[in-house]
Amino acid sequence: MADTKPDKPGFLSRLFGRKAEAPAPAAPETPPSETPQPEMPQAGGSPEAMPSPPANAADDLIPAPSTVTQASPDIPVEEKVAPELAGADLQPVEGREPEGGGPTEPIPRPAPEPVPEVAPEPAPPAEKQSWWQRLTHGMRRTSSSLSESVTGLFTKRKLDAATLEELEDALVQADLGVETALRITEAISAGRYDKEISPQEVKTILAGEVEKTLQPVAQALAIDRSKKPFVILMVGVNGAGKTTTIGKLSQKFRAQGLKVMLAAGDTFRAAAIEQLKVWGERVGAPVIARAQGSDAAGLAYDALEAARAEGSDVLLIDTAGRLQNKAGLMAELEKIVRVIRKFDENAPHATLLVLDATVGQNAVSQVELFRKAADVTGLVMTKLDGTARGGILVALAAKFGLPVHFIGVGEGVDDLEPFAAKDFARAIAGLDEAA
């Protein structure tokens, strides 16, 4: 019996495979028993001829499109490739997802045209505040405390002994001093006892009494140009603001056309020496300085000689901060004054005590002791913007009667101004600026 060879697929079948015919409608499958078998040549017959594909197979291949030459976006891509085509460089149809459903490479978009940058409009310059605005803003803590007390006491209430006592307590707590508080309450009660009085009326009386106390001491610092140099010695405790005050005063004097020289007499602090040098560069004033730890009295004498040689109009001498209860430091301050007077018996022509308003009643003892050690001639009150105790200036005026030359309500140069009694009195009472 001759061996039967298996069917050998035709060339077209091997090339395309039946799996490539998925898009075409499949013909009814012929049962295996009905599939005609090609005749197998007998052994020893003529050479084997390649059998032609069955008729039904050829019919199946007619509608199948060519995957190589007739690909288009409308024909779905085959999910599988025949083994004969494995390894061929087949590119996915554009716009279709490649086999496996992986992400396609995005189509590059044209770069957007650059949008020209538009520079923001510059902010309008801040409106410069007047001195009254800076004063009332700086003293709002003191005035608010007093205003609240007055409003609470005199809203729909008759003036009686209890009300007057509460008002006196409020005035003392604001550091106006007992003497001033008593005088104010007496002025308010005169002719108004057991009658209703408005808070506004009380504030007006308060401002009037404070102005009466301050008016005699509100004196400008006069520079005698016949004395060259006019020597100003600055004294005070640590942290009162002496060095900064010197810088601000030097700028004001320079604006008046005066030739100014500075002396860095706080030889205990290197920072104070550098700070004064910065102020000197800023305002165009020479600074006489020595190494940290140098003798302060000797430096003051050298500065006097230099100022006279340079023809300076004003010499401002800084000193180290010292507590009023330290006898040794106060004795050193006395030595500085003695050395200055050896050079000029009338110098220093002004000795200004710089007071920090935040210390409250402690300022009273500072004035007492610095007057003895350095013969203080006037006061400068700083940091009124940082406390509700601004009334201490009223108490000092009532007790010592020393001229108050300047007050400060901030860090800026314009925040140090000559003292005006009426403005201060109305600001502390919470009233509007006088017409």
Segment 275-315, tens digit of pLDDT: 999 999 999 999 999 999 899 999 999 999 999 999 999 99
Distance of CA 107 to the CA centre of its chain: 48
Residue with tokens 């009300």: 163
pLDDT at 71: 45
CATH number at residue 297: 3.40.50.300
Contact 234, 352 (CB under 8 A): yes
Q: How far is 330 from 281, CA to CA, in rounded Å?
A: 31
Beta bridge partners of 260: 314
Residue with tokens 């601004």: 390
- Residue 259 inside a domain? The answer is yes
Structural domain of 314:
219-382
Token readout for 249 is: 């005063």
Return the C-alpha torsion angle 379, 383, 389, 393, nearest 10: 20
**Nearest residue to 283 (alpha-carbon basis) of 256, 311, 319:** 256
pLDDT at 58: 43
Distance of CA 390 to the CA centre of its chain: 27
**How many domains is the chain built from?**
1
- What does the DSSP assignment read for 370-413? HHHHH---EEEEE-GGG-S-TTHHHHHHHHH---EEEEE-SSSG
Q: How far is 376 from 330, CA to CA, in rounded Å?
A: 13
Q: What angle do CA 185, 214, 396 make, to 5 degrees?
A: 85
- Residue 169 inside a domain? The answer is no
Residue 120: cis peptide before it, omega within 30 degrees of 0: no
- Residue 98 inside a domain? The answer is no
Please tell me the chain's helix, strand, coil percentages from 3-state DSSP, rounded to the nearest 5.
45, 10, 45
- Residue 134 inside a domain? The answer is no
pLDDT at 31: 47
Residues of the chain scoring pLDDT < 70 = 1-106, 108, 110-111, 113, 115-128, 156, 324-325, 434-435
- Residue 429 inside a domain? The answer is no
pLDDT at 103: 57
**Nearest residue to 290 (alpha-carbon basis) of 312, 269, 264:** 264
pLDDT at 242: 94
Here the contacts of 76-80 (C-beta below 8 Å, separation 24 or greater) are: 76/23, 78/19, 78/20, 78/22, 80/19
CA 178 to each of CA 144, 182, 368, 389: distance values in angstroms, whole numbers, following the listed order: 20, 6, 18, 14
pLDDT at 12: 52
**Nearest residue to 430 (alpha-carbon basis) of 192, 151, 172:** 151
Buried b (16+ CB within 10 A) or exposed e, 366-392: bbebbeebbebbbbbbbbbbebbbbbb
Q: How far is 292 from 192, CA to CA, in rounded Å?
A: 63
Residue with tokens 């302060």: 296
Token readout for 379 is: 């006061």
Task: Tell me the pTM.
Answer: 0.69
- Residue 401 inside a domain? The answer is no
- Residue 370 inside a domain? The answer is yes
- Residue 2 inside a domain? The answer is no
pLDDT at 101: 53
pLDDT at 205: 93
User: Rounded to the nearest 5°, which phi and psi values hold at 353?
Assistant: -95, 120
- For 408, residues 6+ apart whose C-beta sits below 8 A from its C-beta are 241, 245, 248, 380, 381, 382, 383, 384, 385, 415, 416, 417
- What does the DSSP assignment read for 306-351? HHHHHT-SEEEE------TT-HHHHHHHHHHHHHHHHH-TT--SEE
Q: How far is 327 from 116, CA to CA, in rounded Å?
A: 71
pLDDT at 91: 58
Q: How far is 382 from 406, CA to CA, in rounded Å?
A: 8
pLDDT at 279: 94
